[in-house]
């Protein structure tokens, strides 16, 4: 049942890699073994984890009659890729020649296991281990046409699809494997991971719980359970979970750093900043150049770095060998540290450097957002909605808070969640997932490709989708209150879909002055592929303008449907704004909403510590400290600088 696999994810493949290997093999065949080894040394500098170069080095060392060097090379090969029959065969023979029967028997047993597997599966595993995803997938698909019930092959193909960013197909393949072999625990763990990649947190946690029933002490299962809990917003549960995982005194430093980071994040979200700081520092003790832990401290927004800490970050960001993302995190942390000290010139240098580095790995194209805005205008007319009056689920429970990131939406969520009838959840992903299922997704920006697909929905479809949303979001509602908040900012793109499937839901658009909003985004590092429009001045300006275009359209075709909430007005007139928002939501005024900073709840956005303090005006004009570097932003925003009020 089990298929050999590797612990490290495959890397992108350099097309010249195999050419260099073939050249070394040709040199060996020609008797030029020393030249072959020199070529392999050069290849190793570029691809140190390429298993077949180590196998070829083993061949060369055997010709040179250097048994220990051959064994060392072959052991490296099988450590990287345990599905190399030739390496195991040579190791078995070499160990016998040296009289080491134990190691010879181990190698021979590995070879025997490989020979028992279908050759195509062995080949595909070997290709996968070296990062050759496309040919590995081709081999597996050909094989599965003949033997569609091989659960090992199904699992390996699923892993390849996950690595190729197709978690949906991976989920389907793993479900097939588990139907055939319910006790295939490795496949069930992968299934949980595929669900988590799609942010199907409840089902992912159920899979983890099933695995833990089988093996309660399995660290991989417990980590998967913790990740699913985090996705569901159940951060209190993982604080102790990570503490138990950290109790093992023999953990490698990298795992200690990772667990400390995860625990610190959970502590921050649950309102325990002092404990969070301690765990971020513990992560940095285990791994001093851990950029994300430095960034975690800065992202508290209330932490102030000392001289020694800034010196350590400055040294780390320039150090050769630091991982690319660690360098990005360090740049943003230094930007915040120096901003807090009033050194705006150097602070901007680090913000700009971090944005430039982050943008290098981004696929974002601003044209995609503008194309989506145009398609939405063409699809969702007033006539479209008039013809569908009364569609969807009539449940009034959801309150959607939309807008751009860093617009003040977390503050509005905290205010509303301070009401006795409203539960704050988190930035829920369900609406965006439905839009992707129905309309496809632009890989460059994640927005709907074909909004016109919604024209094909029937009244029954719309109602079913509304009921599905209510069912799938129930896992995030733990207080039993009649209303709940979905604070996904990007849902402003999906207001047409929301109105169609949840016509009685309340929608609030939090809008912030464009220079302040865009600057706040430029200095904020978002996780993974979230909000990729924020890493360039032109990109963020064009996105802000696209946002205004989309919201103007919703206001035109659904007049009065969305309440605009100007952030600056909330700061200047808190009580008046709160009364207006509550009235829009059909809720009576409660004084607790004015004391929102006293409300105890988990907040997982970058503003978590800020909304635990009384409202202030500090953030309104911070961008002006950087005005000399933001002139290109002002020019790119154009008339949005004034039209945002319209």
Separation CA 176–CA 173 (nearest Å): 5
- Residue 338 per-residue DSSP state: H
Cα–Cα distances in angstroms (integers) from residue 221 to residues 209, 211, 540, in the given order? 8, 6, 39
pLDDT band at 606 (very low <50, low <70, confident <90, very high): low
- Where residue 440 falls (left for φ over 0; alpha for ψ -120 to 50; beta otherwise) is left
pLDDT classification of 2: cutoffs 50, 70, 90: very low
**Residue linked to tokens 């195509």:** 120
pLDDT given at position 610 = 56
**With bands split at pLDDT 50, 70 and 90, how would you rate the model's confidence at 426?**
confident
How far CA 90 is from CA of 49, 71, 80, in Å, comes to: 20, 8, 16
Contact 239, 266 (CB under 8 A): yes
Return the CATH number of 366-643, one of 3.40.50.1820, 3.30.470.20, 1.10.3720.10, 3.40.50.300: 3.40.50.300
Q: What pLDDT is recorded for position 244?
A: 95
Collapsing DSSP to helix, strand or coil, 159 comes out as helix
pLDDT band, residue 366 (cuts 50/70/90): confident
Average pLDDT, the chain: 93
Q: Which of 232-236, 314-318, 490-494 has the lowest mean pLDDT?
A: 232-236
In terms of pLDDT, which residue wins out, 199 or 606? 199
pLDDT at 351 over 90: yes
pLDDT confidence of residue 598? 86
Residue 445 binned pLDDT confidence (cut-offs 50, 70, 90): confident
Residue 602 has pLDDT above 70, yes or no: no
Phi, psi of 162 (to 5 degrees): -65, -45
Angle at which helix 133-146 crosses helix 151-163, to 10 degrees, equals 150
pLDDT tier for residue 8 given thresholds of 50, 70 and 90: very low
Query: φ, ψ for residue 467 (rounded to 5)?
Result: -65, -35
Give the model's pLDDT for residue 446: 87
Residue 640 burial (CB count, 10 A): 20
Closest CA to 383 of 557, 628, 160: 557
The answer, yes or no, to whether residue 327 has pLDDT greater than 60, is: yes
For the chain, the structural domain boundaries read 15-166, 366-643
Can you tell me the mean pLDDT for 172-185? 97
Cα distance between residue 147 and residue 143, in whole Å: 6
Q: In CATH, which superfamily holds the domain spanning 15-166?
A: Tetratricopeptide repeat domain (1.25.40.10)
Q: What is the pTM of this model?
A: 0.84
Pick the closest to residue 415 from 239, 128, 133, 615 (CA basis): 615
- pLDDT of 616: 62
DSSP string over 34-67: HHHHHHHHHHHHH-TT-HHHHHHHHHHHHHTT-H
**pLDDT tens-digit profile of 25-51?**
999 999 999 999 999 999 999 999 999
- Is residue 462 pLDDT above 70, yes or no? yes
Query: Quick one: what percent of the chain has pLDDT higher than 90?
Result: 87
**pLDDT for residue 66:** 96
- pLDDT score of 10 more than 50: no
Return the closest-CA partner of residue 534 out of 383, 408, 646, 369.
Answer: 369
- Per the listing, tokens 């979905």 go with 486
pLDDT at 470 over 60: yes
368-404 pLDDT per residue, tens: 899 999 999 999 999 999 999 999 999 999 999 999 9
What six digits make up the tokens of 39?
């070529």
| End-to-end Cα separation, the chain, in angstroms | 63
Mean pLDDT within 285-305: 96
- DSSP label at residue 433: H
pLDDT digits (tens, 9 = 90+) for 219-251: 999 999 999 999 998 888 899 999 999 999 999
Is the confidence at residue 477, as pLDDT, over 80? yes
Confidence of residue 613 (pLDDT cuts 50, 70, 90): low
The arithmetic mean of pLDDT across residues 346-355, rounded, is 97
Q: Which residue has the tokens 């979230």?
A: 530
601 pLDDT tier (thresholds 50, 70, 90): low
pLDDT of residue 443: 84
pLDDT tens-place string over residues 84-143: 999 999 999 999 999 999 999 999 999 999 999 999 999 999 999 999 999 999 999 999
What's the rounded Cα separation, in Å, for the pair 83 and 51?
A: 10
């Amino acid at each position: 049942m089990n298929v050999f696999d590797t612990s490290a994810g495959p890397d992108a493949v350099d097309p010249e890699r195999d050419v260099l290997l073939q050249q070394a093999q040709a040199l060996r065949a020609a008797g030029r073994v020393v030249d072959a080894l020199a070529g392999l040394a050069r290849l190793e500098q570029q691809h140190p984890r390429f298993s077949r170069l180590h196998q070829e080095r083993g061949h060369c060392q055997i010709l040179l009659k250097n048994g220990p060097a051959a064994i060392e090379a072959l052991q490296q090969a099988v450590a990287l890729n345990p599905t190399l029959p030739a390496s195991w065969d040579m190791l078995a023979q070499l160990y016998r020649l040296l009289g080491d029967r134990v190691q010879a028997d181990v190698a021979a047993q590995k070879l025997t296991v490989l020979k028992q597997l279908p050759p195509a599966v062995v080949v595909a595993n070997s290709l996968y281990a070296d990062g050759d995803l496309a040919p590995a997938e081709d081999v597996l698909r050909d094989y599965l046409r003949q033997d569609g019930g091989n659960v090992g092959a199904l699992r390996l193909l699923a892993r390849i699809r996950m690595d190729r960013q197709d978690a949906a197909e991976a989920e389907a393949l793993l479900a097939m494997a588990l139907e055939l072999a319910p006790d295939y625990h490795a496949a069930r763990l992968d299934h949980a991971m595929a669900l988590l990649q799609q942010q199907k947190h409840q089902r992912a946690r159920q899979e983890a719980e099933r695995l833990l029933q089988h093996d309660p002490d399995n660290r991989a299962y417990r980590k998967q359970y913790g990740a699913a809990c985090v996705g569901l917003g159940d951060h209190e549960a993982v604080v102790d979970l990570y503490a138990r995982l950290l109790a093992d005194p023999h953990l490698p430093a990298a795992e200690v750093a990772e667990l400390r980071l995860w625990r610190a994040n959970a502590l921050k979200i649950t309102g325990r900043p002092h404990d969070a700081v301690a765990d971020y520092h513990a992560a940095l003790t285990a791994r001093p150049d851990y950029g994300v832990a430095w960034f975690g401290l800065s992202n508290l927004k209330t932490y102030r770095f000392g001289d020694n800490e800034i010196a350590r970050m400055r040294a780390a960001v320039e150090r050769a060998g630091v991982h690319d993302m660690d360098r990005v995190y360090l740049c943003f942390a230094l930007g915040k540290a120096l901003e807090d000290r009033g050194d705006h010139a150097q602070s901007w240098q680090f913000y700009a450097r971090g944005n430039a580095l982050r943008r290098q790995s981004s696929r974002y194209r601003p044209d995609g957002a503008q194309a989506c805005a145009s398609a939405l205008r063409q699809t969702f007319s007033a006539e479209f909605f008039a013809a569908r009056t009364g569609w969807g689920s009539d449940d009034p429970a959801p309150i959607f808070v939309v807008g751009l990131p860093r617009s003040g939406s977390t503050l509005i969520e905290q205010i509303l969640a301070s009401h006795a009838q409203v539960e704050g959840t988190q930035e829920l992903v369900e609406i965006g997932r439905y839009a992707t299922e129905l309309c496809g997704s632009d890989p460059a920006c994640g927005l709907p490709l074909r909004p016109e697909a919604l024209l094909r929905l029937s009244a029954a479809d719309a109602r079913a989708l509304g009921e599905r949303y209510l069912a799938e979001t129930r896992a995030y509602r733990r207080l039993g209150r009649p209303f709940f908040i979905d604070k996904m900012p990007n849902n402003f793109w999906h207001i047409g879909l929301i109105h169609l499937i949840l016509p009685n839901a309340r929608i609030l658009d939090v809008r912030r002055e464009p220079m302040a909003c865009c600057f706040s985004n430029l200095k904020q590092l978002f996780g993974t592929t979230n909000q990729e429009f924020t890493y360039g001045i032109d990109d963020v300006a064009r996105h802000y303008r696209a946002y205004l275009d989309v919201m103007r359209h919703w206001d035109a075709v659904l007049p009065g449907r969305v309440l605009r909430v100007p952030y600056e007005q909330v700061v200047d007139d808190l009580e008046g704004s709160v009364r207006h928002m509550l009235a829009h939501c059909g809720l009576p005024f409660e004084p607790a909403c004015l004391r929102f900073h006293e409300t105890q709840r988990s907040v997982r956005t970058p503003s978590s510590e800020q909304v635990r303090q009384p409202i202030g005006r500090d953030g309104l004009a911070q961008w002006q400290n950087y005005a000399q570097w933001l002139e290109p932003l002002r020019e790119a925003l154009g008339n949005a600088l004034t039209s945002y009020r319209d």
